[in-house]
Chain A
Amino acid sequence: MLKRRIIPCLDVHNGRVVKGVHFKGLRDAGDPIEAARAYDKQGADEICLLDITATTEGRETFVDVVRRVAPQLFVPMTVGGGIRRASDVRRLLNAGADKVALNSAAVTNPNLIRSLADNYGSQCIVIAVDVRRIDPRPHDRHPMFEVVINGGKRGTGIDALWWCERVAALGAGELLLTSMDKDGTKEGYDLWITREIARRVPIPIIASGGVGELEHLRQGLASDAGAADAALAASIFHFGLYTIGQAKQYLQNHGIPVRILDSNKAGG
């Protein structure tokens, strides 16, 4: 059967990993190439690189990082951050990315999703959707979420569930769903919206934002909780708290189907 995926995410600023990576065996914790290679060895199912640089020069540096990371990996790599137009997508795919994640640009220009999916195939177009809870109106019977853009700075008033369904209809291959309320809290994913979207939207969902312990990964993936297809996390892996192998062993022990490497079984 198809396994749930575990995806470590590296935030890259001016060519360096930020929110530092601190696990054993790395000579240079800030080097995205070393970090990505280490995650590949630990059994990551995919690797995600996010560019959090805001400058044009930083963007060029990021393309170069992608070009240098790609040859180190034998798993798929998703890249995102600051992608505005089709030419950005082309450049990143040519640099060796397998999938690109668009965020604000998809909201301001939804037709871009369709044209990118037509040109490059849905399988490589991921739409990153950042959401936050808003106060329900009197007639709302469940929690309400809006889409936020520009790194969570700007609310759009767009209903998150509606947007995710639209994105899928426009040809996106996958959704990367981040709860801005939970991001950085270590309290776990926002399970309500994750589950709602996972059950209503016909494309795979990657849960993101808030993981502080292994149990949160389980919650994000379990059918009776978040029901996501993949779980993305950053800090629990960066700080050497857990290896990917340990995370997968925990998930398997709790009934979540995952891919376990032979080297993981040996306790690696």
Chain B
Amino acid sequence: MGRELTIVDVGLGNLASAERALHQVGAAVTITSDPDIIATSRMLVFPGQGAFGAMTDDIVNGAIGAAVKMVIERGDPFLGICLGMQLLFEGSAESDGRVGLGILPGRCQRFPLNMTEPGSDRPLKVPHMGWNDVSPGGDHYYFVHSYYVPAEDCPDLMWSTTYGDVSLAAAVRRDNIYGCQFHPEKSQNAGLKFLRGFILGGRGS
């Protein structure tokens, strides 16, 4: 029962939370690192952890990367979470010279040093860790990241959030391609709502 969905496993981190959250919103989940299974999936989720550089070596240049691109180009729904979203873009300041999938225009930047909360001298920490509200909508999601996609450089912006005076892409969407910088699997009901939207939203226009 449920919509069949594949989670890409690149061997970094625990996928149990993502699996459980997707199951909760009605998906029948398969977790795999097999490029053949990935390539034939009709709905794909790519949770990301670790460093951009290590990931692009495995993903962009490897069989998994080719399989992911195949799914996206075919128009089947794809969701990249956290680093999985960042990989959709052209590159990142985290690993200069390495390229992302380059499916969406834009580059990841690092939060500037010595940021302070607007209107005060309270220092802001990196990583951006904790619950932040997105615009439009105002729901709170759980973020943990040190690199971000600037909202103003992102034509496929769905939701933005702010940290200090930085406005960053919290979620992006172009047709069948979805990405979120936050962790929906750690974001209680708001996160489940977002995942449900992805599963029902499908291939888009």
Chain A: residues with CB nearer than 8 A to chain B? 1-5, 40, 45, 70-71, 74-76, 93-94, 96, 98, 120-123, 173-174, 198-199, 202-205, 223, 227, 229-230, 259, 261
A205 proximity list for chain B (CB < 8 A): 125
- 20 CB contacts below 8 A, A to B, read A2-B131, A4-B130, A45-B142, A74-B186, A74-B188, A75-B188, A76-B183, A93-B13, A96-B14, A121-B50, A121-B51, A123-B129, A123-B144, A173-B127, A199-B122, A202-B113, A202-B123, A205-B125, A229-B130, A230-B130
- The CA of A122 and the CA of B49, in the complex, are separated in Å by 10
Closest A-B pairs by Cβ, 7 of them: A223-B122, A259-B131, A259-B140, A123-B144, A204-B125, A74-B188, A3-B131
B139 to chain A, nearest CB (A): 10
Partner of A123 from the list B120, B127, B140 (CB cut-off 8 Å) is: B127
Q: Mark B65-76, 1 if CB is under 8 A from A, else 0.
A: 000000000000
A255 to chain B, nearest CB (A): 12
Chain B: residues with CB nearer than 8 A to chain A? 13-14, 16-17, 20-21, 49-51, 113, 117, 120, 122-133, 140, 142-146, 162-163, 183, 185-189, 191-192
* Among B21, B186, B191, residue most surrounded by chain A Cβ atoms (within 10 Å): B186
Q: Is the CB of A223 within 8 A of B127?
A: no
Question: Which secondary structure dominates chain A's binding surface?
Answer: loop
B133 proximity list for chain A (CB < 8 A): 1, 3, 259
* Among B124, B125, B127, residue most surrounded by chain A Cβ atoms (within 10 Å): B125
A87 to chain B, nearest CB (A): 16
Q: Is the CB of A203 within 8 A of B125?
A: yes
- The CA of A70 and the CA of B143, in the complex, are separated in Å by 19
Q: Is the CB of A2 within 8 A of B126?
A: no
- The CA of A6 and the CA of B64, in the complex, are separated in Å by 39
Q: Is the CB of B122 within 8 A of A74?
A: no
Q: Is the CB of A45 within 8 A of B131?
A: yes
Given A94-B14, A223-B117, the answer on whether A204 and B140 have CB atoms closer than 8 Å is: no
Question: Which secondary structure dominates chain B's binding surface?
Answer: mixed
Q: Is the CB of A2 within 8 A of B163?
A: yes
A239 to chain B, nearest CB (A): 24
Given A74-B187, A229-B125, the answer on whether A1 and B142 have CB atoms closer than 8 Å is: no
A222 to chain B, nearest CB (A): 10
Q: Is the CB of B123 within 8 A of A40?
A: no
B134 to chain A, nearest CB (A): 11
Instruction: Kindly report which residue of chain B lies nearest to residue A5, judged by CB atoms.
Output: B130
A9 to chain B, nearest CB (A): 17
Given A202-B123, A223-B122, A229-B125, the answer on whether A74 and B21 have CB atoms closer than 8 Å is: yes
Partner of A174 from the list B113, B124, B128, B129 (CB cut-off 8 Å) is: B129
A94 proximity list for chain B (CB < 8 A): 14
Instruction: Kindly report which residue of chain B lies nearest to residue A222, judged by CB atoms.
Output: B122
Q: Is the CB of A223 within 8 A of B21?
A: no
- The CA of A4 and the CA of B163, in the complex, are separated in Å by 13
B20 to chain A, nearest CB (A): 6
- The CA of A45 and the CA of B190, in the complex, are separated in Å by 13
* Among B21, B122, B144, residue most surrounded by chain A Cβ atoms (within 10 Å): B144
Q: A1-B163, A74-B192, A173-B129 are in contact. List 20 more A-B contacts (CB 8 A).
A: A1-B162, A2-B132, A3-B131, A70-B17, A71-B20, A74-B17, A76-B142, A76-B186, A96-B14, A96-B16, A96-B17, A199-B122, A202-B123, A205-B125, A223-B120, A227-B122, A229-B125, A259-B133, A259-B140, A261-B188
A1 proximity list for chain B (CB < 8 A): 117, 132-133, 162-163
